[in-house]
Amino acid sequence: MTSLFALVDCNNFYASCERVFQPQLNGKPIVVLSNNDGCVIARSNEAKACGIQMGAPLFEIKDAIAFHGIHVFSSNYELYGDMSRRVVLVLSEYSPHVEVYSIDESFLDLGNFLDVDIEKYARAIWERVPRATGIPVAVGVARTKTLAKLANRVAKKSKKANGMLVLTDPKHIEAALKATEIGDVWGIGRRYARKLSQFGVNTAYDLTRQTDSFIKKHLTILGLRTVKELRGEPCLDLETMPPAKQNICTSRSFGEALTELSDIEEALSTHAVRCAFKLRKQKSCAMAFTVFLETSRFGQDSQMYFNSRTVRLDSPSSSELVILPAALEALRVIFREGFRYKKTGVIVSGICPANQVQQSLFEPDTRQRDSNLMKTLDGLRERYGFKSVFYGVQGTSGKWQMQNSNLSPCYTTKLKDLLKAN
DNA sequence: TCTGGGGTCCTAGGACCC
DNA sequence: TCTGGGGTCCTAGGACCC
Overall number of domains in chain A: 3
The whole-number Å distance from A318's CA to B11's C1' is 31
On whether residue A293 sits in a domain, the answer given is yes
Q: Which has the higher per-residue pLDDT, A405 or A109?
A: A109
Give the rounded distance of the alpha carbon of A129 from its chain centre: 21
What pLDDT is recorded for position A415? 60
User: Count of CB atoms within 10 A of residue A376's CB?
Assistant: 11
Report the DSSP beta bridge partners of residue A286: A317, A351
Query: How does strand A30-33 pair with strand A71-73?
Result: parallel
The arithmetic mean of pLDDT across residues A30-34, rounded, is: 96
A259 and A376 co-located in one domain: yes
Give residues with Cβ within 8 angstroms of A401, minimum separation 6: A254, A255
On whether residue A89 sits in a domain, the answer given is yes
On whether residue A417 sits in a domain, the answer given is no
What region does A100 belong to: left with phi over 0, alpha with psi -120 to 50, or beta?
Answer: beta
pLDDT band at A364 (very low <50, low <70, confident <90, very high): low
Q: For the ranges A33-42, A152-161, A198-207, A291-300, which has the lowest average pLDDT?
A: A291-300
On whether residue A151 sits in a domain, the answer given is yes
- Given a cut of 70, whether residue A99 has pLDDT beyond it is yes
What pLDDT is recorded for position A360? 62
Within 7 A of a protein CB, which nucleotides of strand C?
A: 14-18
A256 and A211 co-located in one domain: no
With a pLDDT cut of 70, the percent of chain A lying above it is 95
CATH number of A58's domain: 3.40.1170.60
Q: Which has the higher per-residue pLDDT, A398 or A141?
A: A141
Q: What per-residue string of b and e applies to A225-256 under the rule 16 or more CB within 10 Å gives b?
A: bbbbbbbbebebebeeeeeeeeebbbbbbbbe
pLDDT band at A362 (very low <50, low <70, confident <90, very high): low
Residues, chain A, total? 422
Q: Which has the higher per-residue pLDDT, A313 or A104?
A: A104
pLDDT band at A128 (very low <50, low <70, confident <90, very high): very high
The answer to whether the beta carbon of residue A2 comes closer than 7 angstroms to any atom of strand C is no
The whole-number Å distance from A310's CA to C12's C1' is 14
| Residue from A31, A40, A80, A78 nearest A60 by CA | A40
What pLDDT is recorded for position A386? 87
The whole-number Å distance from A102's CA to C7's C1' is 39
CATH number of A101's domain: 3.30.70.270
On whether residue A175 sits in a domain, the answer given is yes
A17 and A98 co-located in one domain: no
Residue A361 is part of which domain span?
248-394
Taking the C-alpha atoms of residue A51 and residue A267, their distance in angstroms, rounded to an integer, is 36
The arithmetic mean of pLDDT across residues A170-192, rounded, is: 97
The whole-number Å distance from A341's CA to C11's C1' is 27
Taking the C-alpha atoms of residue A151 and residue A189, their distance in angstroms, rounded to an integer, is 18
The arithmetic mean of pLDDT across residues A86-91, rounded, is: 98
| Residue from A312, A313, A317, A314 nearest A367 by CA | A317
A47 and A94 co-located in one domain: no
DSSP labels for A104-133? TEEEEE-TT-TTS-HHHHHHHHHHHHHHHH
A212 and A91 co-located in one domain: yes
The answer to whether the beta carbon of residue A55 comes closer than 7 angstroms to any atom of strand C is no
A50 and A108 co-located in one domain: no
Q: Which of A230, A263, A285 is the last residue of a domain?
A: A230
On whether residue A414 sits in a domain, the answer given is no
User: Which nucleotide lies closest to A255 by the C1' atom and the CA atom?
Assistant: B2
Report the DSSP beta bridge partners of residue A9: A105, A138
CB-based contact A393:A266 (threshold 8 Å):
yes
The answer to whether the beta carbon of residue A299 comes closer than 7 angstroms to any atom of strand B is yes
What pLDDT is recorded for position A421? 45
Taking the C-alpha atoms of residue A275 and residue A297, their distance in angstroms, rounded to an integer, is 24
A31 and A102 co-located in one domain: no
With a pLDDT cut of 90, the percent of chain A lying above it is 81
User: Count of CB atoms within 10 A of residue A298's CB?
Assistant: 8
User: Count of CB atoms within 10 A of residue A77's CB?
Assistant: 12
Q: What is the mean pLDDT of chain A?
A: 92
For A224-244, write each residue's pLDDT tens digit: 999 999 999 999 999 999 889
- Given a cut of 90, whether residue A169 has pLDDT beyond it is yes
CATH number of A321's domain: 3.30.1490.100
pLDDT band at A361 (very low <50, low <70, confident <90, very high): low
pLDDT band at A192 (very low <50, low <70, confident <90, very high): very high
The whole-number Å distance from A358's CA to C7's C1' is 28
Taking the C-alpha atoms of residue A53 and residue A97, their distance in angstroms, rounded to an integer, is 35
pLDDT band at A420 (very low <50, low <70, confident <90, very high): very low
A101 and A222 co-located in one domain: yes
What pLDDT is recorded for position A422? 40
Q: For the ranges A18-27, A52-61, A271-280, A352-361, which has the lowest average pLDDT?
A: A352-361
For A48-82, write each residue's pLDDT tens digit: 999 999 999 999 999 999 999 999 999 999 999 99
Cα angle A41-A46-A47, degrees, rounded to a multiple of 5: 35
A67 and A201 co-located in one domain: no
On whether residue A339 sits in a domain, the answer given is yes
On whether residue A27 sits in a domain, the answer given is yes
Cα dihedral sign, A157-A186-A244-A288: negative
Taking the C-alpha atoms of residue A202 and residue A311, their distance in angstroms, rounded to an integer, is 46
Name the residue with the least CA to C1' distance from nucleotide B11. Answer: A220
Taking the C-alpha atoms of residue A338 and residue A344, their distance in angstroms, rounded to an integer, is 16
- Given a cut of 70, whether residue A144 has pLDDT beyond it is yes
What pLDDT is recorded for position A366? 78
